[in-house]
Amino acid sequence: MPANLTPEYLKAEGQFRQAKSPEDKLEALRAMLAAIPKHKGTEKMQADIKKKISQTNKELQKKKGKKTGTSYIIKREGAGQICLVGISNTGKSTLLATLTNANPEISEVPYTTKIPYPGMLLYQNIQIQIIDLPSINPYYRLYWIYEIIKKADIVLLVIDVSRDDIIEQISTIKEDLKKSHIELIPASRTVAPEDLYSKRTILLANKMDLASSKDNLPVLLELYQHEFLIIPVSPLEKKNIDALEFTIFEYLDIVRVYSKPPGKPPDHNQPFIFSKGSTLLDMAEAIHKDVKEKLKYARLWKKTGITGLRIPKEYVLEDEDIIEIHA
C-alpha cells in the first residue's frame, strides 16, 4: 500500500533532516508522527519515528542529567477550573479563543502550544477558568501537564471529528492519562473522595464545520455516547458554543448566592459561589467566622416569588438565592 505522504509530513521530515540539536530533532519527529497518514502502508514508518523519538528523548535526558525541566502551576481563578485535553491539531487553542478572553497562538503546525494557556469564560455573572494544555503525546510526556489535569474540576476532551482516527485519538489520550493514574469518567457521575484523579469529562466533537465531520459523528456517538456526554462544536461557526457554556456551568455543580444587606438591594454582579449542598451556615462562614458564630436568622428571596421568608441555619442554598443575614 502506498504511503501517500502529505505535504505537512514532508515539510516536517525536511525540518528533521536539517535539525542540529536534540530539541529541534524531537520537535520535528513529533510533527512527523502527527502528520503521517495512519494506515497499514505507513505502519513501519510510524514505528521507526516512534523509535527515533524514544532515542532522542533518552539523549535529552542524559543531556539534562537529573533535571526534570520546566514545570508550570496555574493559579485557580473564578468559579471553576476546566482543562482542554487532546492530541495535536484538534483545535484546542481555537476553542480557548472562542470561549474566553484569551489570545493564544493558533496554527496548523503540530505542537504549537508548548505551555499552559489560561483564559476566563464569562458565563452570565461569573467567570470560569479554562486552560489550554500542550497536546498529549505518549512519546514525550510533560509530567506537569498531568498535575494540572489532576487539579481540574472538569476535562473537555477535544476530538477532531473530521479525521478518520477518532477511535485512536480517544484511546491514545485515555491510555496516556492512565499512566498518571487519571481516569476520564462521565460528567454526570459523582466523584467519590477516594477517586481523587477521576476527572468528570465532556467530549467535544470539534470541527463540525468540515464535511467529513458530519460523516464521522454518527460513528463517534455510537461508540462513545454511553461513556461521555458528547457535544458537537464548531468555533468557526459558533455551533453549540452557548450550549457548551451552559453545560460547563451545570456540571460544575455550583450555586450562585447573592447577599442582601437589610434595607438595601442585593448585588447581582458579585455572587458568592458555593458547591451544591452548601448551607446557610456555609454562607455565614464565608462572610466571616464571627458571622457564623453570631448568626441569629436569615431571610430568603427567590425569583419564584418568595420574599423575605425566614429560613433555618440548615437551609440548603440554591442557585440565585438572595439571602439577608441577621447576626
Beta strands in the chain (DSSP E): 81-85, 117-123, 126-132, 154-160, 183-186, 198-206, 229-232, 254-259, 272-275, 297-301, 309-311, 321-326
Q: Which CATH superfamily includes the segment(s) 254-326?
A: Beta-grasp domain (3.10.20.30)
- Dump the DSSP string for 233-260: -BTTTTBTHHHHHHHHHHHTTEEEEEE-
Helix axes 211-224, 166-178, angle to 10 degrees: 50
**pLDDT for residue 69:** 57
**pLDDT for residue 2:** 62
**pLDDT for residue 1:** 52
Side chain identity at residue 311, one-letter code: I
Q: Return the closest-CA partner of residue 208 out of 217, 219, 199.
A: 217
Contact 175, 181 (CB under 8 A): no
Side chain identity at residue 189, one-letter code: R
Question: Residues near 210 by Cβ (< 8 Å), separated by ≥ 6?
Answer: 162
**pLDDT for residue 106:** 86
Considering the chain, tell me which residue range(s) the CATH 3.40.50.300 domain(s) occupy: 81-251
Alpha-carbon distance of 275 to 218, in angstroms, equals: 35
CA distances from 55 to 23, 35, 41, 256, 284 (A): 12, 20, 23, 52, 58
Q: Return the closest-CA partner of residue 12 out of 26, 27, 31, 25.
A: 31
C-alpha dihedral sign at 39, 45, 51, 55: negative
Alpha-carbon distance of 105 to 97, in angstroms, equals: 9
CATH topology of domain 81-251: Rossmann fold (3.40.50)
**pLDDT for residue 18:** 84
- Helix then strand count (H, E) for the chain reads 10, 12
Considering the chain, tell me which residue range(s) the CATH 3.10.20.30 domain(s) occupy: 254-326
Q: What is the pTM of this model?
A: 0.77
Alpha-carbon distance of 114 to 110, in angstroms, equals: 10
Residue appearing with cell numbers 533532516: 17
**pLDDT for residue 66:** 46
Alpha-carbon distance of 154 to 152, in angstroms, equals: 6
pLDDT in tens, the chain (327 residues): 566 788 888 888 888 888 887 877 888 888 888 888 888 888 889 889 988 888 888 777 666 544 445 778 899 999 999 999 999 999 999 999 999 999 988 887 778 888 999 999 999 999 999 999 999 998 888 889 999 999 999 999 999 999 999 999 999 999 999 999 999 999 888 776 666 789 999 999 999 999 999 999 999 999 999 999 999 999 999 999 999 999 999 999 999 999 999 889 998 888 999 999 999 999 999 998 888 988 989 999 998 889 999 999 999 999 999 999 998
CA distances from 182 to 72, 90, 138, 225 (A): 18, 21, 14, 20
Side chain identity at residue 20, one-letter code: K
